Amino acid sequence: MTFFATILANPQLKNLTPEIVNQFAQNCERLIVSKILIDGIAAEVEFGGKCPAVVEGFDLIIQERKNIKLLVCDMESTIIDNEFLDDIAEHLGIKEKVAEITARAMNNEIGFEESLQQRMALVLGLRYDDAMKLMREKLKYNAGARQLIEFCKANGIYTMLVSGGFTIFTSAVADELGFDEHHANELIFDNGVLTGARPPFLGRAEKLTITKKQADKMGILMSEVAAIGDGANDIDMLEAVGLGIAYRAKPALKERIKNQFNHADLSGLICLLTATSKP
């Protein structure tokens, strides 16, 4: 059996040297080949046995060859740097209250639906125009997001944005980056004023359900799906797919998902998709 080990650095540091790669490769059983993919940033080692479990100061992702055909992405704190409910709360002067609930939910201390209802109760009355203005002013993409989706589009990988956030935001992000589709919770505005969110709510279980349904629709196996997310409501989805990545993950997710991006940006996923799709 052949394995691919991809070593990824923080692109801002560019500190992955050939010596670090060679040292790792020399400790891999039945080494086939090692090579630099991007100078200072990414390397790949192909081997047939055991290998070191850690490369200190870098991300190390070890996987078998797969043919990834579907990429599912969480949005907030993954594709984008924002948590929009927190941004709305800041606008309303209640940021600390809402951010505390968000953090507890992402760390799996309270259920997602309960946290959503608690946060929504605090921001009722928000005007639709203000929400759109906040998005335009605050929206910040995480490094590598645009390159990742461009790569997927160029290589026939279907992309899906699946968020516990809200469709008024996912629609804008999906349109700008070029996601094939998006799923999120729907806010209810009455005469331009926020009055609630429409159930059923999209949380942890629903993320997995949507992913499975799309794989079935495409006629592919879950092993041919990659997914990336940051919080507890991504656990089931990331555990179920062939390649699940915890991106700058909250503690509850880090405990469950071994493949982690703590240093690499989102473009690092391109290296993983390239490795797995080789004939």
pLDDT digits 0-9 by tens, 154-200? 999 999 999 999 999 999 999 999 999 999 999 999 999 999 999 99
Asked whether residue 3 is assigned to any structural domain, the reply reads yes
Are 14 and 76 contained in the same domain? Answer: no
Residues 6 or more apart in contact with residue 142 via CB below 8 angstroms: 78, 79, 80, 81, 265, 266
Where in the sequence is the domain holding 33, given as residue range(s)?
1-64
Are 7 and 76 contained in the same domain? Answer: no
Q: Which residues of the chain have pLDDT under 70?
A: 275-279
What is the pLDDT, as a whole number, of residue 279? 42
Cα separation, 222 vs 200, whole angstroms: 25
What is the pLDDT, as a whole number, of residue 275? 59
What is the pLDDT, as a whole number, of residue 98? 87
Adjacent-strand bridge partners of 179: none
Are 276 and 147 contained in the same domain? Answer: yes
Cα separation, 126 vs 235, whole angstroms: 31
Are 75 and 53 contained in the same domain? Answer: no
The helix/strand/coil state of 272 is helix
Quote the strand ranges of the chain, DSSP E: 3-8, 31-38, 42-47, 59-64, 70-73, 158-166, 181-190, 193-198, 225-229, 243-247, 260-261
Are 22 and 74 contained in the same domain? Answer: no
Stated pTM of the model = 0.93
Are 254 and 199 contained in the same domain? Answer: yes
Total count of domains within the chain: 2
Are 277 and 149 contained in the same domain? Answer: yes
Looking up residue 40, the CATH number of its domain turns out to be 3.30.70
Residues 6 or more apart in contact with residue 161 via CB below 8 angstroms: 73, 75, 79, 170, 173, 174, 179, 181, 182, 183, 184
